[in-house]
Chain A
Amino acid sequence: MTIDLAQTIANEAPAPVVRTRGVLRRSLRLWRTRIGLAITVALVLVAIFGPYFAPHDPSALLGRPYQVPSPGLPLGADYLGQDVLSRFLYGGRSILLVSVISTVLGVGGGVLIGLWAALSKGWVDNALLRGTDILLAFPQILLALIVIATVGPKTWLIVLTVALTTLPRTVRVIRGAATSVVEREFVDAARANGDSQLRIALVEVLPNVIGALGVETTFRLTYAVQLIAALAFLGFAANPNEPNWGTMVSQNSSALTLQPNAPLVPAVAIALLTVGVGLVGDGIARAAAGIDRGTS
């Protein structure tokens, strides 16, 4: 009980003041966040506006299969003779959209359940964690595959399963971050005031785990893109003929030497997207932990 006093005095040496507010703003001062953000924004712009700049219909057969780049086909043709550049410009939309929606669903649900677990403590907390443990017993991709094996690769199904694999991880992280916040006395003060559990969760606790939430969201988004791209790579896309970076990689992977653009351009795009988002998350994590000193 008197430890608080001990801490107060232990803090005597003036540590650099870490502002609890503005973690996201602080993270923007780190070069890795900036690089990550620049890459992410660039890829998102390509994904959203790419189709307007595509020179050809992505499904038109314009050349020989695996035709090398030529003035008409600046990145060459793919396994069917479709324009790699056009398919690349079209191919980011669905992957991005599906990842973002499933991340929002998974992280949103995870935050609510995580806060609920932290605030409830006791058996509710234990039961919720036990539940997440069971979901975690499936490696992410396995849960998606077992569902696809029975129902087939439907977009809504992929969104739901990716959200479902995201959820337990977010629950764990948010619950972990919130546990120490819940112990603090301002939460008791709100309880003494008779505030509802939901109000306490959203108004008192959530703003204090915003750093963890930022990190978690970006990391989960990275994994969602990875997972959805991997599913497409394995051949499970809702529509295999639709241009999609993941399917492009798998359809053309046998032409690595013959026409490297066909598999490598979409592969690099996916990698850049995940790396960009991952770096933003890393920056937020560093800013939140106050790890970074003087590299701004």
Chain B
Amino acid sequence: MTKNSPSLRLSRRLRPRGLAGLVAVRIALAVLTLVVVSIIVFASTQLLPGNAAKAKLGKQATRASLTALEKQLGLDQSAFHQYVHFVGGLLRGDPGNSLTSGQPIMADLTPRLANSAFLVLVAAAISIPLSLLIGSVAAVRRDGILDEISSFLQRVLASIPEFVIGLALIALFATSVLQVFPAVSIIPPGSPPWSNLDAIWLPALTLVLVVTPNIALIMRAAMIEVLESDYIESARLTGVPERRIVVRHALPNALAPAFQVIALNLAYLAGGVIVVESVFSYTGVGVAMRDAVLNRDFPTAQVVTMIIAGVYVVTNLAADIGTILVTPRLRTRLA
């Protein structure tokens, strides 16, 4: 995994003044990325053979119903106008109506967003500290039998598709073997996700099992690289106790690469919820996305895509700023 993201490198090239400048450039790049993403998402419906209305209605379309839907979707207007309308709707928080239900998209998505966010946060809150700990300990005890076994298991776990992990957990905990959790995690409308903790355990555990090995393996590699460095040998030759070397000397230097990989994995969580929520029928945006795609409800799919891409970009932005803050070489370039 790269230590510095290319955007960091780019911002270095642009030579911004000081910390504030550096952060400003990063924010500008994040906004730019979102704009390009929105263009791609928007363009994906434009580039189709025929148009979206035809795609939705399929073969049974009559001339009249097609024109009506085209008008409803604004397809009779210029592409630029449609794009402005699309972005405007997103920014206003009112991106239009679902093609399936005819209801405003956000009315359905808002409670689901809360459910998904809660699920992702629970998974992140467990897996991040856990993986950093596992990775660091494995690095310190590297090549020992424990490290060998744990890194093997993590590699295996990291390779298994998330829906298989989810199914395995259901088979283990929600069926005949151990019936402790519900297999299906439907959260009744109107009730907050934290009032249904039973429903959240299995999906959260699945996400934890998917994400933890990824972060832990990178953390292990980053720590090993740091522990092999000259300055750690120098610290040992100065008589610094081992515990202090790991915590005070090595850890701060391993954090920057860890931030980057944590951001990548949080972003993955945002996408991974689609599959995991589907396994458990969890009432979140992931299932909404799946249903939207199944029903060709592309306005909803576009909105969910923009939300998830937004989460991704913001997480990466946070990781880049975090990297700047823990890397003196970057932080101290105050003019």
| Chain A contact residues, CB within 8 Å of chain B | 32, 126, 129-130, 132-134, 137-142, 145-152, 172, 176, 222, 225-226, 229-230, 233-236, 249-250, 253, 256-257, 260, 263-264, 267-268, 270-271, 274-275, 277-279, 282, 293, 295
Contacts of A249 in B (CB 8 A): 163-164, 167
With contact pairs A146-B44, A176-B2 given, residues A230 and B163 touching in the complex (Cβ less than 8 Å): yes
Decide if B335 is an interface residue (CB 8 Å cutoff): no
Sample (5) of A-B pairs whose CB atoms are under 8 Å apart: A126-B10, A133-B6, A138-B37, A142-B305, A230-B163
Contacts of B7 in A (CB 8 A): 129-130, 133
Q: Which partner residue on chain A sits nearest B47 by CB separation?
A: A150
Roughly how many angstroms separate A235 CA and B295 CA in the complex, as a whole number?
11
Contacts of A277 in B (CB 8 A): 159
Are A150's CB and B167's CB within 8 A?
Answer: no
Nearest CB in chain B: distance from A77 CB, A: 19
Contacts of B52 in A (CB 8 A): 150
Contacts of B10 in A (CB 8 A): 126, 129-130
Which of the residues A126, A148, A274, A279 comes within 8 Å of B161, measured between beta carbons?
A274
Are A146's CB and B6's CB within 8 A?
Answer: no
Contacts of B2 in A (CB 8 A): 172, 176
Decide if B298 is an interface residue (CB 8 Å cutoff): yes
Roughly how many angstroms separate A64 CA and B131 CA in the complex, as a whole number?
46
Nearest CB in chain A: distance from B109 CB, A: 15
Roughly how many angstroms separate A218 CA and B294 CA in the complex, as a whole number?
31
Nearest CB in chain A: distance from B43 CB, A: 10
Are B37's CB and A129's CB within 8 A?
Answer: no
Which of the residues B36, B164, B183, B294 comes within 8 Å of A256, measured between beta carbons?
B183
Are A282's CB and B183's CB within 8 A?
Answer: no
Are B163's CB and A139's CB within 8 A?
Answer: no
Contacts of A293 in B (CB 8 A): 143
Decide if B302 is an interface residue (CB 8 Å cutoff): yes
Are A279's CB and B305's CB within 8 A?
Answer: no
Roughly how many angstroms separate A235 CA and B296 CA in the complex, as a whole number?
13
Q: Which 10 A-B pairs have the closest CB atoms?
A: A139-B271, A278-B159, A129-B6, A149-B301, A149-B293, A226-B161, A274-B159, A275-B159, A271-B160, A257-B175
Q: Please, what's the 1-or-0 string for B5-31, where 1 marks a CB less than 8 Å from any CB in chain A?
A: 111011001000000000000000000
Roughly how many angstroms separate A142 CA and B285 CA in the complex, as a whole number?
12
Are B274's CB and A235's CB within 8 A?
Answer: no
Decide if B261 is an interface residue (CB 8 Å cutoff): no
Nearest CB in chain B: distance from A208 CB, A: 18
Are A146's CB and B305's CB within 8 A?
Answer: yes
Q: Which partner residue on chain B sits nearest A263 by CB separation?
A: B167
Roughly how many angstroms separate A250 CA and B275 CA in the complex, as a whole number?
11
Decide if B268 is an interface residue (CB 8 Å cutoff): yes
Q: Please, what's the 1-or-0 string for B159-193, where 1 marks a CB less than 8 Å from any CB in chain A?
A: 11111100110110001100000010000000000
| Chain B contact residues, CB within 8 Å of chain A | 2, 5-7, 9-10, 13, 33-34, 36-37, 40-41, 44-45, 48, 52, 55, 143, 148, 152, 155-156, 158-164, 167-168, 170-171, 175-176, 183, 267-268, 270-272, 274-275, 278-279, 289-290, 292-294, 296-298, 301-302, 305, 308-309, 312-313
Nearest CB in chain A: distance from B66 CB, A: 16
Roughly how many angstroms separate A275 CA and B152 CA in the complex, as a whole number?
10
Q: Which partner residue on chain A sits nearest B167 by CB separation?
A: A267
Contacts of A263 in B (CB 8 A): 167
Roughly how many angstroms separate A295 CA and B167 CA in the complex, as a whole number?
35
Contacts of B176 in A (CB 8 A): 257
Residue of A132, A249, A267, A270 ringed by the most chain B CB atoms within 10 A:
A267
Which of the residues B6, B40, B45, B289 comes within 8 Å of A145, measured between beta carbons?
B289
With contact pairs A147-B44, A150-B55, A260-B171 given, residues A142 and B298 touching in the complex (Cβ less than 8 Å): no
Nearest CB in chain A: distance from B95 CB, A: 15
Are B175's CB and A256's CB within 8 A?
Answer: yes
Q: Which partner residue on chain A sits nearest B13 by CB separation?
A: A126
Are A234's CB and B274's CB within 8 A?
Answer: yes
Further contacts, 11 of them, CB under 8 A, given A253-B167, A279-B155: A32-B152, A130-B6, A137-B312, A138-B271, A139-B270, A140-B271, A145-B305, A146-B305, A149-B297, A236-B293, A271-B164
Contacts of B312 in A (CB 8 A): 137-139
Are A139's CB and B152's CB within 8 A?
Answer: no
Are B309's CB and A138's CB within 8 A?
Answer: yes
Are A126's CB and B6's CB within 8 A?
Answer: yes
Contacts of B272 in A (CB 8 A): 139, 141
Contacts of A148 in B (CB 8 A): 293
Contacts of B183 in A (CB 8 A): 256
Roughly how many angstroms separate A150 CA and B49 CA in the complex, as a whole number?
10
Nearest CB in chain A: distance from B36 CB, A: 5
Are B296's CB and A149's CB within 8 A?
Answer: yes
Roughly how many angstroms separate A245 CA and B70 CA in the complex, as a whole number?
39
Residue of B163, B267, B292, B301 ringed by the most chain A CB atoms within 10 A:
B163
With contact pairs A134-B37, A137-B37, A138-B309 given, residues A278 and B155 touching in the complex (Cβ less than 8 Å): yes
Q: Which partner residue on chain B sits nearest A218 by CB separation?
A: B159
Nearest CB in chain B: distance from A44 CB, A: 16
Are B275's CB and A233's CB within 8 A?
Answer: yes
Are B308's CB and A142's CB within 8 A?
Answer: yes
Contacts of A145 in B (CB 8 A): 274, 289-290, 293, 301, 305
Roughly how many angstroms separate A282 CA and B159 CA in the complex, as a whole number?
11
